[in-house]
A and B are shown apart, each in its own frame.
Chain A
Amino acid sequence: GQNIDQPTEMTATEGAIVQINCTYQTSGFNGLFWYQQHAGEAPTFLSYNVLDGLEEKGRFSSFLSRSKGYSYLLLKELQMKDSASYLCAVSAYSGAGSYQLTFGKGTKLSVIP
C-alpha cells in the first residue's frame, strides 16, 4: 500500500510565500502530482514531478526528492484566491502493467489579508 502525509491545515498572509510538504512511502513510484481544490469545486491539476528537482510554473513550484520520499509545493506572492485545499497524489505501479494514483488527504490553505 501507499502512505501519503501532508499537513491538514496551514495559514499564510497575502503576498507571502508558503511551502506545503508531502511525504510518501510507496513501491513502484511513477510520479507525484499536486492538485488544487477550491471549496465546492472539482480538483484541478497543478504540477507533475517524476524526476528529482524543482519544476516551476508561474507563482507555483513543485519539488521532488525520490530518495527521501518527499515533495513540496511552493506558492509565491500569495493571493486570496489561493485559499483552497492542495492535494498531493502519488502514482505507483499496481500490477498487471497498470498504475494507480493515490491522493493524500489534502492541506487546507487559508490566505489572510
Chain B
Amino acid sequence: KAGVTQTPRYLIKTRGQQVTLSCSPISGHRSVSWYQQTPGQGLQFLFEYFSETQRNKGNFPGRFSGRQFSNSRSEMNVSTLELGDSALYLCASSGTPTSDTGELFFGEGSRLTVL
C-alpha cells in the first residue's frame, strides 16, 4: 500500500512569508503527527491529530498551526517565517493514537529553507 506522502518535498521562502505543508497518511490511518528535524535539535514534536482533533501540541510558538481533514489528510502552516524555521518537516501516520504501540510511519519530509 502507498506510504505517507508529503508535499512539497522542497521549498524556499523568505522571512516573513508563510508556508503550508501537506501530508497524506497511509490509507486507513487516522493519526497524523508532525515533527521538525534540525541538525542541532533532532526531531522535535509539533502536534498530533487524530480523527480531525488535535490531541497534543509541542512547545512551538503559535506561528505553527495545523489541521486534519475528514479524509485524515493533514496540513501544517507556519506564518511569519523566521530563518530558524529552516528545517526538515516530517509527517508520520499511525493506525492508532500513539498511546498504543506507537509505531509511526514517516513520510520523506518537506525541506524548508528560509532566506
Q: Name A residues whose Cβ lies closer than 8 Å to a Cβ of B.
A: 30-31, 33, 35, 41-45, 48, 87, 89, 91, 94, 97-106
Does B90 interact with chain A (Cβ within 8 Å)?
yes
Interface of A is mostly: strand
Nearest chain B residue, comparing its CB with the CB of A90: B102
Please judge, given known A-B contacts A42-B90, A42-B109, A87-B42, whether A99 and B103 are in contact too, CB under 8 Å.
no
Partner of A30, one of B33, B42, B99: B99
Interface size on B, residues (CB 8 A): 25
Query: Within 8 Å CB of B58, what residues of A?
Result: 100
Nearest chain A residue, comparing its CB with the CB of B109: A42
Question: What separation, in Å, do the CA atoms of A105 and B42 have in the docked complex?
Answer: 4
Please judge, given known A-B contacts A42-B90, A42-B106, whether A100 and B101 are in contact too, CB under 8 Å.
no
Query: Within 8 Å CB of B48, what residues of A?
Result: 98, 100
CB under 8 Å from chain A, chain B span 25-47:
33, 35, 41-45
Please judge, given known A-B contacts A48-B103, A99-B97, A106-B42, whether A94 and B56 are in contact too, CB under 8 Å.
yes
Nearest chain A residue, comparing its CB with the CB of B56: A100
Q: Name B residues whose Cβ lies closer than 8 Å to a Cβ of A.
A: 4, 33, 35, 41-45, 48, 55-56, 58, 90, 97-99, 101-109
Query: Within 8 Å CB of B45, what residues of A?
Result: 100-103
Q: Would A91 and B98 count as touching, CB distance under 8 A?
A: yes
Q: How far is the CB of A20 from chain B (nearest CB, A)?
A: 14
Question: What separation, in Å, do the CA atoms of A104 and B45 have in the docked complex?
Answer: 11
Nearest chain B residue, comparing its CB with the CB of A95: B56
Q: Would A100 and B42 count as touching, CB distance under 8 A?
A: no
Q: Would B98 and A100 count as touching, CB distance under 8 A?
A: yes
Query: Within 8 Å CB of A35, what residues of B?
Result: 104
Q: Would A43 and B90 count as touching, CB distance under 8 A?
A: yes
Q: Would B56 and A45 count as touching, CB distance under 8 A?
A: no
Q: How far is the CB of A11 from chain B (nearest CB, A)?
A: 19
Q: Would B97 and A43 count as touching, CB distance under 8 A?
A: no
Query: Within 8 Å CB of B4, what residues of A?
Result: 42
Query: Within 8 Å CB of A105, what residues of B?
Result: 41-42
